[in-house]
Structure 1
Amino acid sequence: MKKFTFILLLVAMTVIAGCGGNGDEGGAGEDSIKIIAAHNQTSPENPYQDGLLKFKEVAEEESDGAIEVEVHAGTIGTEESELVEKLQTGGADVVLVSPGFMTQTGIDEVNLFALPYLFTSYDHWEQTVDGEVGEEMATIINEESNNDFRIVGYWSAGVRHYYGKQPLESMDDLNGLTMRTQTSGVVANYWKETGAVPTSVAWGELYQALQQDVVDSAENAYPYFVQQNHHTTDNGKYITETGHDYTTRFLLVNGNEFDNYTEEQQEILLNAAEESVKAEREALYKQEDEYKQQAIDDGAEVNEIDRQPFIDLAKPFQDQAAEDMGVEDLLEKIRDNQ
């Protein structure tokens, strides 16, 4: 992770060298700035909030208050598409988004990180995003967005599992089940192949959709669906640990705005981003176990399943998607990291 942040810092310093007005004379102590940092989760008790609060703490402390950070938990957008738009238009300075929403900006390569069963463990995921593959993806995003988006850290939203109105004993149990998930792209195509019916429901409306039988099932990580009490509904009480996605989330800044900060401000913000990555991951890993236990205590039923048929089904999807995106080399590097 330090290597990744150091490279980002070098990129930032290189840009500064060619920009007027951002030399050594300026500093965070001389020019005050206000940073709007936002995520889409409405509950403040989640890893996203922990990460952004750490970002705020470090940025404000290291700048002696010259950098003010205002953290928004779903208050300026509960949909990631809203946050991406606000980052582009100046309504936010730091946002957290998933690969799926980044593809809506035309950067298809980021969908690599959303492929089912791409990662086998958190160690595998960390080695990937904190290493060469993460660096290459950051470069792709920055270049293809014309510097509108710059990654300053990789966060996780946990390991996603199935939960629904019935447990899964085999893949056949998914036949005909409506599932709240992505409704287009490789993720949707994968779930269609399992027999499920991908269905679109806004996150904020999913509890009611499960309660009122609008959808039969959904998929997400324990810290998120348990916080929203999805496991207390009839259509969410059976949790099968499919472990199909060790999720990746991008902590983004607007590169063009970032380049206007002084060298000292940039360094402070990158340090804050690095510390936020540590804080968010630590909170997430801890909450995985805590919220699983809460779900069980609340009466949810948890079972394991033989994942190998799901993994075997996912491999050709990964191969084809990587070929379509032109990132076969990155896919092979990810597999080599196992």
Structure 2
Amino acid sequence: MTLTNGYEQSDREEQLHILNLPSLEAAAKKIIPTGGFGYIYGGAEDEWTLKANTQAFNHVQIVPRALANIDHPDLSTEIFGLHLDTPVMMAPAAAQGLAHAKGEVDTAKGVAAVGGLMAQSTYSSTSIADTAAAGDGAPQFFQLYMSKDWTFNASLLDEAKRAGVKAIILTVDATVDGYREEDIVNNFQFPIPMANLEKFANGDGKGQGIGEIYAAAAQKISPDDVRRIADYTDLPVIVKGIQSPADALRAIGAGAAGIYVSNHGGRQLNGGPASFDVLADIAKAVNHQVPIIFDSGVRRGSHVFKALAAGADLVALARPVIYGLALGGAQGVQSVFEALDHELAITMQLAGTKTIEDVKHAPLTHFRYDD
């Protein structure tokens, strides 16, 4: 363990032998301090939406296909002209130093090792430049939590461009902090600074709760902000936190180059629908105008398959990757993606789909089963 400001950070660096991604949670809970684990794990209020996110994948089923004359499914795909070896990406997730001393640097290394895409958060433990450098040329996106201070926003966007990120993810569903009871019970305050906030007037996040940090962020976000960021950066802007067809179309009308369907992993509006349950309707409305990224509740290769078949172009996840980071550093992150890709390849073979494009056209069926 590494001790930073009295907080114990894992410094493990080892390959993991993973039965399945859900099994990582209990193992990670044993080594991540209580407050840090609660922040990573917790959802809003009684966590109904958090739980529904994973349960919703049972609302549709994959149609098995025989005599498909395929073998060795190909998991590679493209988005915004970027070639990826997997359709699974790292979602932007804050403060990964809570799980491991090297934080996002090790996450970036692990994602790059599998030929995947890394998205780094405004509230990262490591700087934009250091996280990008750790990827050693692998593609990365930068996620922006808009500040009320445009000068600060511009400085982050400038740094992201200098670091070579390929797109900006604008999060729009976190204008206030969700009511996260884990953090309240633990009286959680970030024990380590957030590197990108060090020059911010309100401090670097250390000693603050997430509610205090969000209080400095913009509570009012409009379509004009999408246009402004796109014009300022000349990069694709992906709007994250979309949960309805109307908002998807509003974002595209404002110049969004991508839609990110997500309910923040059940951490914001509790009682809202599971992210997967709204995906198909949003994809139908978008009608291939722009790519769609999806997250919230993904834990199995079959979940990735269903999300792609329901209209996503890339599928993201965070909590299981952060658990893998705590348990094994960069190698642990790599192990998580490899385990999920292995499950996905099996599912693709049994569903008669050779490529990710085939998966996107695969039928899903809707039998209802009693609990």
Structure of greater Rg: 1
Same-fold status (TM-score > 0.5)? no
Write 1 or 2 for the structure with the bigger share of helix: 1
Aligning the two structures, in what range does the TM-score lie when normalised by the shorter sequence?
under 0.3
Q: TM-score, normalised by structure 1?
A: 0.27
